Structure 1
């Protein structure tokens, strides 16, 4: 059975909950990730004599399971599982990041035994079984690791979130330094502050045949995370992770000089104050500061940048995350910046949104260094991407569309208004080598100017209508029908303001445009049906979604009014939400609709059967296509029940006044109403002629007995309908379940591709078309309302209101001179 991403995540986070208590996230992450590591390598490599990873006999996850409930469980995990596993793979001393016998963190005695036993039990669940699935072939496990790292970083707070660079930012760095052209695994990539290794892995993902990875991380526990991360992603042999500080004690050297790399990526700690501890900068044996200058004692940003530049080959490329201050700060940093610029090594600068990173809320930038053909470079390509993000809790996060737009603009050197621009070195020199992005890219939106003449004399300024030219190009006849001349330079609406939206939606221009956009989707669907139908065990999910999404992006490129990246975001959202899980299910199980029981544990731990489901095909799709008659019966009963309940509610409301039929009842229920009927019948025998109702209760059919009997009749019908509905629900559920077993492969394909995937995607993209009409309608209404009344009209209205108030005050006897 395929691992579902959502189930994997929830199981991992459940394991985290078992370890909460005395530990913060920066500590319990070590335990959870160590357990994930042991489970993964045990499932994938235990007993495989040809594996690069050795799992010694007695040191697998299965051996760990045998320790559950043992009083010395923590000590034995350390000695019998972890140490032998690390020693067998020459990692002793590098991977001991979690002490499973730590009483301070895990508790003492039975508390520790129970906690560790429950933790092991969580990793025994089917959602975390890596033996018979292809999770390692792509990114489910990597996503799980990043899911944990992101949550740990979020919970750790500012001071301890430095071990993780958001994957969205990592991907940008990896895509703007031409790693995709590195066609041999002998190409090298280096990260001098590698943290948990996510940046290096993103770079390796971009290389068609992998890379040789080198990372240095001074924090011993975080270094261990990086090693585990490399192993979990299949880079046990290709990655070398070292400890110590890369500025004072660089570990990768050749002939007493810094080893030089093809690619460098880094997210150094921002503005480190003690960066020069352990070295004398001007006597630095690696000559990193010679010819550039020495960074300030209390700010090490340029120390890391100069170390990176010194670690690059003559054709090397780097992308480094640094605070915005490096672009414009003066004194020693200004000198260093000028020296780097004069060598023409800075290829580009990408300004990022604020509050992306876990260690700080300040905005950062990516500086792209490229030594290759530097002498021919004419300037620096700048991007201001500060406004493209989505809120995610208390942090900001780049969306898929933001990443793609940044990478496209940078790699293709697209100049986009208010977003990107190529800036010549001459212009930079005129600005005294200040690289502050707002000096070169104006992102301010055009001011919406109020027209005083229109306020005085009425009418919508023609200039404001002209500003909507992108719409009039697509809807050529709509403008003439919406507006008519009022006087020179001013127009008025030809239709009532409240009818503008309907007029736009029903206009032939809009309908024609909508049809053209729908044809684009139909073309996309037609061109990709073969790809969708070809999903099998050989499918690579990353490659699959890349090809599918890129084709969608291309189809909508350069189309008027609709933003290709907004469309692209829809498919990427659906991939993360549903499509990714579906593809993994199809890879594992094939085109079959497997059903499963839903078993939930109650508070007492007792399992409850909550019915059945199918992860691949929702019940509604099968019902709508194959069991519609039974669904219609159920809908009819539910509609009838709604009407009966409405009639009951209306009857109760109408006859609940003090002198009405139900006026003296404490509650209106079956018992009370039956008692009322008995009383009324008894009174009817004693007094056949009923009294006339009062004027306050003069309604039709006001006979209390008839009303009460009507209520009982409706109530009885309501109960019967509820029973009928339950019976019909069971019938519908049973027939639906039966039909799943009858589904052919072709029917499964129809339901999944047409009814589920394409239907949802088309609906999402249609929302972008709907948004076009909403934007146009909103602007036209805004202009119409802004200039709806002239100053004279407003003055007259005020005078009329003043006169009315004065008259009322005089009637009240309030007169003043």
Structure 2
């Protein structure tokens, strides 16, 4: 069976555990990624004489496997890698990690054992056959590793990786379309590990022609490996300082012009001007102003601008300071705005990046329409994210919303707007986003009049208008007019939620949402899902893209339900479970649904015991794991009668257990009839009762002991009956798996597993919306239910009662 994506990821991450301790993540990533590269190239190209990578005899991964437990394993691995590097012009790319470094890998047997285990982990992966047609399984695995390396590397070493979610936004807003030809060029002057370039290339139907430059030698090597792992062998990556020594130039020495540029340059570099003649730059990059000596943000922006063709487009990630800092940067910013080069600005959440926690923005450049540009599109997307450990992370819905709003130039309240150049000029060309978009939440103000005189302010009720539009009569069921500008509550605070749930309009709203789901399901999506493996026309990524987009469209006009929240439901389910299923199905066909994997007490290829898995079925003493179809789905579809019988038996068993526990609780007390039947642990059980019966003389105690003995035996009989019935059902399920037809499997996986889970999540989203309304109404009712005079009267009444009691006690003053 094909390796699931998550299993591949965990196997790769396990390799990192073998290296921790001797080095930090910024170092051991070189070892792990080099082995990943060697295994992939060996699996994909070793037997292909026409492959883009030549694998010489004795320079593949099998040669490494043959070295396991060899005392010279480190030295010999270096030779194998060097041989492959020489044959493919990859010297200085794949041979940077020294596998014979005693300081990092240990000495003698310690090194031998560590490398043997490391090689063994990759040995068990077939990376060639586990690349679903048209999908980039290994590239995704690389991204997974890079994200974790960046997380572990800390503040100073995380700059080699741009979070994939941010890369996706940059690549989608830069202007690449379905009509962009393959020979269109994309450039990144600070390309790091190359992920941003690859994301941009993926936006074009046949990819783009890739150019990159990276100053750090080890990181540029990562980028070269990354390109090959993503099947972009012809991508051109150069290692050098871009600002001081740009490599990509025309024959006349001027900077090469590119169709697109994307970049996440290092923030606020102080030494940016090293090696540059600022006053007479040969490339004339600083014609709109010279960046300050100690901050290179605008140096990269100006370099990118100069590297674009006259119709070129770019998207650059920079710190927020470039939008409002003064002096030299203000002059540059003013000139760029006047020239019309800035198309848009997207403000991102803070703490997204691994090298810094400061907030950043994406500046979108467009030379094509610069001459006629009269406005800049601004967006404050700083509020949309999720917590992921100690970092923030963009969700799928955040990415989709940002891209939709930007590409369609939609103006949304407190989120985005088109700002005229005249308005920006009136603000002295300051582009700080809060000057133009107030994204703050409205304050929840208390009404003093309501506190004094009672009643709920209509202003607060009117603020819930989006709910009342969906079900207007619910407002009338909850509130009635009171004095001018105020209403009174008709329902107690504790009954608000039930009132909403039971209202006909809410029920209609909930049913409409479910109906939308069923309409979506039946409009080709059910068919598409059930043909996921047929003919292998679509890659898993194409499948999830198509069905998620159609789900988003289906809920576009749904009242109250945010279409992006619904979109997030399917994307979360995809990441959690569905993508693994689809990867297996597209590689092994639907017949994989029949398979049960026996869980053996065995060791993995690296010699370590495999992690324990929870079995889905136990037949006799043999444990099995169901890869695609959980046994519960088989039971629900084919063996409902047997399950109902077991449920009835379990109810009888539970009743006998409750009777036993109640009897023991009543009599196993001090001086109780079962006091002497408790064991050393203070428990009454079969053994302790039997022992006490042998010596008991009191007839009441004997009767109690016999009663509890009967109850214990009755419970045991019930438990055995339940177990026998469950074992019989498990056997029926076990024998059903190989008999499943393809149609059975499709129904179980698509209808009973995937779609049922999505529907349950949508119902949960409806309930969440209901809870929002109920919580707000309850808050308002509790806030204003008792006016201030009532509190004063109550305090006075209580004071009088206290005075009366004090007088009775003789305490008078």
User: Does structure 1 conserve the Cα–Cα contact (< 8 Å) formed by 2:214 and 2:220?
Assistant: yes
1:462 to 458, 462, 483: 458
User: Does structure 2 conserve the Cα–Cα contact (< 8 Å) formed by 1:613 and 1:619?
Assistant: no
Is the counterpart of residue 764 in structure 1 residue 765 in structure 2? Answer: no
Return the alpha-carbon distance in structure 2 between the equivalents of residues 188 and 808 of structure 1. 91
Tell me the CA shift for residue 512 of structure 1.
Answer: 1.4
Is the counterpart of residue 379 in structure 1 residue 375 in structure 2? Answer: yes
Return the alpha-carbon distance in structure 1 between the equivalents of residues 809 and 242 of structure 2. 87
User: Does structure 2 conserve the Cα–Cα contact (< 8 Å) formed by 1:217 and 1:246?
Assistant: yes
User: Does structure 2 conserve the Cα–Cα contact (< 8 Å) formed by 1:184 and 1:209?
Assistant: yes
Which residue number corresponds to residue 555 of structure 2?
A: 556
Tell me the CA shift for residue 793 of structure 1.
Answer: 1.0
What whole-Å deviation, never above 9, does each CA across 1:459-518 have from its counterpart, x for those lacking one? 112222222222222212222222222222222122333222111111111111122212
Query: 1:462-611 residue pairs with structure 2 within 5 A?
Result: 462-527=458-523, 528-536=525-533, 537-592=536-591, 593=593, 594-601=595-602, 611=623
Tell me the CA shift for residue 601 of structure 1.
Answer: 4.5
> Which segment is superposed worse, 208-217 or 768-777?
768-777
> Which segment is superposed worse, 179-188 or 129-138?
129-138
- Give 3-state SS (helix, strand or coil) of 1:366's partner: strand
Which residue number corresponds to residue 72 of structure 1?
A: 72
User: Does structure 2 conserve the Cα–Cα contact (< 8 Å) formed by 1:135 and 1:141?
Assistant: no
Is the counterpart of residue 13 in structure 1 residue 20 in structure 2? Answer: no
Is the counterpart of residue 170 in structure 1 residue 177 in structure 2? Answer: no
Which residue number corresponds to residue 645 of structure 1?
A: 657
The 3 A distance-change label for structure 1 pair 649 and 339 is same
Aligned residues between the structures: 792
> Which segment is superposed worse, 489-498 or 602-611?
602-611
Return the alpha-carbon distance in structure 1 between the equivalents of residues 675 and 811 of structure 2. 48
> Which segment is superposed worse, 635-644 or 56-65?
635-644
User: Does structure 2 conserve the Cα–Cα contact (< 8 Å) formed by 1:538 and 1:587?
Assistant: no
1:243 to 239, 243, 266: 239
Return the alpha-carbon distance in structure 2 between the equivalents of residues 7 and 154 of structure 1. 20
> Which segment is superposed worse, 634-643 or 60-69?
634-643
- Give 3-state SS (helix, strand or coil) of 1:180's partner: coil
Which residue number corresponds to residue 53 of structure 1?
A: 53
- Give 3-state SS (helix, strand or coil) of 1:154's partner: helix
* Structure 2 unmatched ranges of 5 or more: 613-620
Which residue number corresponds to residue 176 of structure 2?
A: 179
The 3 A distance-change label for structure 1 pair 806 and 679 is farther
User: Does structure 1 conserve the Cα–Cα contact (< 8 Å) formed by 2:333 and 2:429?
Assistant: yes
Return the alpha-carbon distance in structure 2 between the equivalents of residues 396 and 521 of structure 1. 31
What whole-Å deviation, never above 9, does each CA across 1:320-374 have from its counterpart, x for those lacking one? 1101111101111111111111111000000000000000001011111110111
Tell me the CA shift for residue 153 of structure 1.
Answer: 0.6
Return the alpha-carbon distance in structure 2 between the equivalents of residues 503 and 596 of structure 1. 50
- Give 3-state SS (helix, strand or coil) of 2:343's partner: strand
1:669 to 678, 685, 691: 685
> Which segment is superposed worse, 136-145 or 59-68?
136-145
User: Does structure 2 conserve the Cα–Cα contact (< 8 Å) formed by 1:399 and 1:569?
Assistant: yes
1:209 to 181, 206, 211: 206
> Which segment is superposed worse, 249-258 or 530-539?
530-539
Tell me the CA shift for residue 192 of structure 1.
Answer: 0.6
The 3 A distance-change label for structure 1 pair 543 and 637 is same
User: Does structure 2 conserve the Cα–Cα contact (< 8 Å) formed by 1:59 and 1:84?
Assistant: yes
User: Does structure 2 conserve the Cα–Cα contact (< 8 Å) formed by 1:160 and 1:359?
Assistant: yes
User: Does structure 2 conserve the Cα–Cα contact (< 8 Å) formed by 1:136 and 1:233?
Assistant: no
User: Does structure 1 conserve the Cα–Cα contact (< 8 Å) formed by 2:93 and 2:222?
Assistant: no
Tell me the CA shift for residue 123 of structure 1.
Answer: 0.7
- Give 3-state SS (helix, strand or coil) of 1:381's partner: strand
Give me the CA root mean square deviation: 1.8
Return the alpha-carbon distance in structure 2 between the equivalents of residues 723 and 474 of structure 1. 54
User: Does structure 1 conserve the Cα–Cα contact (< 8 Å) formed by 2:139 and 2:230?
Assistant: yes
- Give 3-state SS (helix, strand or coil) of 1:299's partner: coil
Return the alpha-carbon distance in structure 2 between the equivalents of residues 572 and 600 of structure 1. 35
Which residue number corresponds to residue 734 of structure 1?
A: 731
Tell me the CA shift for residue 142 of structure 1.
Answer: 1.7
What whole-Å deviation, never above 9, does each CA across 1:205-260 have from its counterpart, x for those lacking one? 101111110111111111111001000000002x0010011001111111211111
The 3 A distance-change label for structure 1 pair 133 and 632 is same
The 3 A distance-change label for structure 1 pair 136 and 240 is farther
- Give 3-state SS (helix, strand or coil) of 1:542's partner: helix
* Structure 1 unmatched ranges of 5 or more: 685-702
User: Does structure 2 conserve the Cα–Cα contact (< 8 Å) formed by 1:3 and 1:135?
Assistant: no
- Give 3-state SS (helix, strand or coil) of 1:252's partner: coil
The 3 A distance-change label for structure 1 pair 265 and 813 is farther
User: Does structure 2 conserve the Cα–Cα contact (< 8 Å) formed by 1:38 and 1:60?
Assistant: yes
What whole-Å deviation, never above 9, does each CA across 1:421-441 have from its counterpart, x for those lacking one? 111100111100111000000
Query: 1:213-232 residue pairs with structure 2 within 5 A?
Result: 213-232=210-229
Query: 1:64-103 residue pairs with structure 2 within 5 A?
Result: 64-79=64-79, 81-103=80-102
Tell me the CA shift for residue 619 of structure 1.
Answer: 1.1
Return the alpha-carbon distance in structure 1 between the equivalents of residues 417 and 323 of structure 2. 16
Is the counterpart of residue 430 in structure 1 residue 442 in structure 2? Answer: no
Which residue number corresponds to residue 272 of structure 1?
A: 269
Is the counterpart of residue 369 in structure 1 residue 358 in structure 2? Answer: no
Return the alpha-carbon distance in structure 2 between the equivalents of residues 683 and 397 of structure 1. 71
Is the counterpart of residue 629 in structure 1 residue 641 in structure 2? Answer: yes
What whole-Å deviation, never above 9, does each CA across 1:436-457 have from its counterpart, x for those lacking one? 0000000121222222222122
Return the alpha-carbon distance in structure 1 between the equivalents of residues 803 and 576 of structure 2. 64
Which residue number corresponds to residue 616 of structure 2?
A: none
Return the alpha-carbon distance in structure 1 between the equivalents of residues 130 and 7 of structure 2. 14
Return the alpha-carbon distance in structure 2 between the equivalents of residues 412 and 726 of structure 1. 61
TM-score (norm 2): 0.95
Return the alpha-carbon distance in structure 1 between the equivalents of residues 689 and 807 of structure 2. 58
What whole-Å deviation, never above 9, does each CA across 1:161-196 have from its counterpart, x for those lacking one? 011000000000000012124532110001111110
Tell me the CA shift for residue 683 of structure 1.
Answer: 4.1
Tell me the CA shift for residue 808 of structure 1.
Answer: 4.3
- Give 3-state SS (helix, strand or coil) of 1:158's partner: coil
Return the alpha-carbon distance in structure 2 between the equivalents of residues 318 and 223 of structure 1. 21
Which residue number corresponds to residue 697 of structure 1?
A: none
Tell me the CA shift for residue 658 of structure 1.
Answer: 1.7
The 3 A distance-change label for structure 1 pair 102 and 813 is farther
Return the alpha-carbon distance in structure 1 between the equivalents of residues 464 and 802 of structure 2. 43
What whole-Å deviation, never above 9, does each CA across 1:505-535 have from its counterpart, x for those lacking one? 1111111112221221111000112211221
> Which segment is superposed worse, 240-249 or 279-288?
279-288
Return the alpha-carbon distance in structure 1 between the equivalents of residues 153 and 274 of structure 2. 27
Which residue number corresponds to residue 191 of structure 1?
A: 188
The 3 A distance-change label for structure 1 pair 212 and 678 is same
- Give 3-state SS (helix, strand or coil) of 2:497's partner: helix
1:679 to 695, 701, 708: 695
Is the counterpart of residue 704 in structure 1 residue 705 in structure 2? Answer: no
> Which segment is superposed worse, 643-652 or 8-17?
643-652
Return the alpha-carbon distance in structure 2 between the equivalents of residues 181 and 375 of structure 1. 25
The 3 A distance-change label for structure 1 pair 807 and 662 is farther
User: Does structure 1 conserve the Cα–Cα contact (< 8 Å) formed by 2:147 and 2:161?
Assistant: yes
The 3 A distance-change label for structure 1 pair 135 and 34 is farther
User: Does structure 2 conserve the Cα–Cα contact (< 8 Å) formed by 1:648 and 1:714?
Assistant: yes
User: Does structure 1 conserve the Cα–Cα contact (< 8 Å) formed by 2:167 and 2:195?
Assistant: yes
Which residue number corresponds to residue 262 of structure 1?
A: 259
What whole-Å deviation, never above 9, does each CA across 1:610-654 have from its counterpart, x for those lacking one? 611221111110011112233333333333332222222222221
